[in-house]
Amino acid sequence: MKIVLASNNKNKIKEFKQILKDDEILTMYDVGFYDEIDETGETFLENALIKAKTISEFLKTKGLDYPVVADDSGLCVEALNGEPGVYSARYSGVHGDDEANRQKLLKKLEGVENRKAYFQCITVEYFSDGSYKVGDGRTYGTITYKKIGDETFGFDCLFLSDDLNKTFGEASAEEKNKVSHRFRAIKDLFSK
């Protein structure tokens, strides 16, 4: 099945392609959409729907009728009342500055003993008639005191997974994709 993924995030696209091996994943670029989509929602679901609906409407103008899959996800830290949450990618004020986001998180957690956290992902499969399905996934862990492992994707090098007993930054793609919030949300979405 062909699915259009409402994302230009290289790491996210890679994860989706690894998880949905049996489907043909088209990116926004593949279908000719090059604009940024403003994520103005206050929840993961609202942001996922904004992205999915935007791409679905764009596909209609091209005469294409593919389901669109979008997600929104983030890190939620218990001691910070769920921060950074929906603002994970722009926690430091600059969208996509992973290092600044990590430094802000570590600074806010200085002297804090409770470092429990979870990643949450909401996925949406959106259809041209406006109907949609929703998947929800979480993975639990704790925030480390320093970066451990690969630093190329968000908070992964600070998130010590309860499932893996290592940070997501230390885990292989295969290990992470078996327990990640995104994997669980996709599995939940496509089990309906």
Q: State which residues form the domain around 82.
A: 2-190
Average pLDDT over residues 104-113: 97
- List, in order, residues 6 or more apart from 158 with CB less than 8 Å away: 102, 105, 106, 143, 144, 147, 148, 167, 169
- What's the pTM value of the predicted model, to 2 decimals? 0.91
Burial 68-83 (b: 16+ CB within 10 A, else e): bbbbbbbbbbbebeeb
Strands 24-26 and 159-161: unpaired
Q: How many domains does the chain have?
A: 1
Active site residue 38: no
CATH classification at residue 139: 3.90.950.10
pLDDT in tens, 142-184: 999 999 999 988 999 999 999 999 999 999 989 999 999 999 9
Taking the CB of residue 1, how many other CB atoms lie within 10 A of it? 9
Active-site residue, selected from the candidate residues 72, 97, 129, 136? 72
